[in-house]
Chain A
Amino acid sequence: MSTPHSSSTSSAPHRASPPQIPESLTLAATASSGSPSSSSASGMRDAAEDDSDSPPSQMSEDDPGGGGGGGDRWEPDLRGGNGGTGRWAPPDQVLENVLESVLEFLTAARDRNAASLVCRSWYRAEAQTRRELFIGNCYAVSPRRAVERFGGLRSVVLKGKPRFADFSLVPYGWGAYVSPWVAALGPAYPRLERICLKRMTISDDDLDLVAKSFPLFRELSLVCCDGFSTAGLATIAGRCRHLRVLDLIEDYVEDEEDELVDWISRFPESNTSLESLVFDCVSVPFNFEALEALVARSPALRRLRVNHHVSVEQLRRLMARAPQLTHFGTGAFRSEAAPGGGLSVTELATSFAASRSLVCLSGFRDVNPEYLPAIYPVCAKLTSLNFSFASLTAEELKPVIRNCINLRTFWVLDTVGDEGLRAVADTCSDLRELRVFPLDASEDSEGSVSDVGLQAISEGCPKLESILYFCQRMTNAAVIAMSKNCPDLVVFRLCIMGRHRPDRITGDPMDDGFGAIVMNCKKLTRLSVSGLLTDKAFAYIGKYGKLIKTLSVAFAGNSDMSLQYIFEGCTKLQKLEVRDSPFSDKGLLSGMNYFYNMRFLWMNSCRLTMRGCKDVAQQMQNLVVEVIKDHSDDEGEAEIVDKLYLYRSLAGPRNDAPPFVTLL
């Protein structure tokens, strides 16, 4: 369905030409309905742990970045949307109507962007018929501009903070507030049904405004957001009578124990259309009876993920009420009774056996391994299993995984060791996505998995498309093996936790391993590197990584050449995040011609100075260059730049920046 290579950046000037904004770069906002495969296969809500390229439909990365029609080309008062009467009457009203009917069928962002560039007529028709707006950087465009262009939005997806905010690198109060957006969207789109936010701050007041502004509101998805509490959730639950989806994924919910609100009870009796309720990140106790009643009156409920305040006894009750569930987050997976008492494994197994539609299991937050056999009845049908909060040994994992012959997505803790991974490789030949998280996420930890596990996986899972692997010991050989055995890899993220660690056997840098990945995995779009790496690794990446959109670099490289290789070679680069690497202003400036083609560049703890950053800011008018200081570094040298965040923007420097952010 997608027009091949119709990315609007293709209309950008050749990369080597002087820095100008490509004509197509106007609105960074594009619509996206996501690729069909990503929304069906991934039951894990990848947007939770990952962003961009392996997303569920809401968070799709099909944003070519360049945006849709050439807003700068058109007359300023071209009002596609709510701005009132346009100055032109279209010469052929019939054609316009036909156009609109036809364009209704276009859903992919790329197609819509391409269509909007054809001519004014198409631009207007597209603007009127676009239903979903995807904005990959909330500061790249102003709410007013979005509202002016699009007339009939039903769904808005917004992303805020840069991903490194997840690792405490962006100070509190930096920004990404949804308030101005809600304020603008409310009056403009009374029929809005869906809002998805990622890494944004949304307050209880904002939630209140959402509930008030959109009477037909159906779907709220908040991923890695903060700023709200159970009070805000209560408002949404209570006032959005048609709510079908409430997905809270890895948010930070502000709650004082004594100010808890029983938000689950607020879902009215009349709401019987709930399809998805995900709240495992809302870590405070809740009213279980209310949940049970809600589940009982929701025959359409397919996805339910509860928090760890749910025992296996309570799980059983929920499963009895919702045998039609497809995605189930199992809470603690432990009995509330004293050891010896409580539910028996057999009884729990019966409940699982009755859930004939289950394809995705998660939770297991405080798992009692004795209860694991209860899930055997569903293992064969599972396509997605998340054990990443369960400290299981290989022995505990094996009997379970051996039944999971259809598994496509598997998240696990490294406690299972190389042996556990071997068991996965032996059974799960259809595996597409693997994530191995560290139990002990520190540099000096023992690390329970190694190159041995990676090699085993590569041999047993040739269809692997996405891998995230935390370890302490790795070899080039294993990485090279994976590059050859798993040619379909789209996402390769290897995190050798100890900094600058070389190949554990040869002592060489990890250059050749990552080189092989970019060389052999021709579909690779996302790469995270680690271990001891020289400029050579980046020479490989620049030479072969032609499809890479997201690149994460930490503690790597020798010199500015690394950055130059990346900028010059990775022609599709959208997002580059770098930390603690010896790159200076020279490296930064080597990217000058490419910044407009990217969504953002993040660099922290490198060797940048104000001088270099100012150079960039001065030469690139449509780039916002932010220099961010840590709160406590008042006495730091003024010239040294610790954190740089730059991004293309049509909105200019933002007006909500806190004092520790300097906009150049």
Chain B
Amino acid sequence: MADVESCLKATELRLGLPGTEETTAAAAALPTPPSTPRGKKRDGNIAADEAAKKRDGETAPPAAKQATVFEVLTRVETTFVSSCRAQVVGWPPVRSYRKSKPAPAEEKAPAAAATATAAAGALFVKVSMDGAPYLRKVDLKMYKGYRELREALEAMFLCFSGGAADTPSVNPSDFAVTYEDKDGDLMLVGDVPFDMFISACKRLRIMKGSEARGLGSVKNN
């Protein structure tokens, strides 16, 4: 088990330079792992247990803490309960009708539309970000346009960019959001009308670094 641990640690993907301090904002953005069951363990949670124990015992500097959490998440991904902290569809089992609260009078239309799409069935696509240890899924029908989608993606992947958006090391325009369409081609998000994009998009990919430079500036649509 120790071997596996060190191997995993050696090969883990990390964002940011080694030793980079994570800000408290980024730390807060990371979802907390599940509370460890004391006593009996189940297969699916062994990884989480170990990681949590490790975490509890550490009084590490932020960089190490960040590494540990990534380690947890990398390992958890391989267990049956994969990416256990990612939101699972339809859990807890509360109807969307009940989840959406009626908005104040001025905002009725958007609220109704949001309820609408949630209830009508989702269009989930995978979102990968270069360097992130696990993927996410978004429901494309939840967004009315590119701006909302981009904001949601930024919020979702903020923690992986090594810090808050305003740290000098990370510039939002260094990222380009691309998607894979029905033909398998990698396309830049934003060229076609949003509705057309939704019907064509099979998965999303957030590119960063040199590949994305220059493309990221085409972000306002």
Contact = CB atoms under 8 A, between A and B. Distances in A.
Contacts of A509: 40
Contact of B34 (A252, A470, A498, A507): A498
B92 A442 contact: yes
A482 B38 CA distance: 24
Interface residues of A, number: 59
A183 B122 CA distance: 29
B98 A168 contact: no
B60 interface: no
A656 interface: no
Interface in B138-171: none
Contacts of A308: 102
Contacts, number: 146
Interface residues of B, number: 50
A214 to B, nearest CB: 28
Nearest to B121: A172
B172 interface: no
Contacts of A502: 37-40
Contacts of B119: 226, 252
Contacts of A437: 94, 98
Interface in A92-128: none
B91 A443 contact: yes
B135 to A, nearest CB: 11
A257 B125 contact: no
Nearest to B141: A172
A441 B89 CA distance: 12
A554 B90 CA distance: 11
A365 B102 contact: yes
Interface string A420-445: 00000000000000000110011110
A175 B105 CA distance: 34
Contacts of A172: 120-123
Contacts of B104: 366
Chain B, interface SS category: loop
Nearest to A173: B121
Interface in A496-531: 497-502, 506-509
B112 A283 contact: yes
Nearest to A391: B101
Contacts of B42: 500, 532, 534, 558
A470 B92 contact: yes
Given A507-B37, A632-B202, A168 B108 contact: no
A499 B81 CA distance: 10
Contact of B121 (A168, A254, A284, A554): A168
Contact of A283 (B34, B87, B102, B124): B102
B84 A499 contact: yes
A157 B123 CA distance: 30
Contacts of A255: 112, 116
Given A167-B91, A555-B81, A632-B125, 6 more contacts: A167-B93, A172-B120, A257-B108, A532-B42, A632-B124, A632-B137
24 contacts: A167-B94, A168-B121, A169-B90, A171-B122, A172-B120, A250-B97, A252-B97, A257-B108, A257-B109, A281-B97, A283-B102, A308-B102, A366-B104, A388-B98, A470-B92, A495-B93, A501-B37, A509-B40, A532-B40, A554-B91, A555-B91, A580-B88, A632-B126, A632-B202
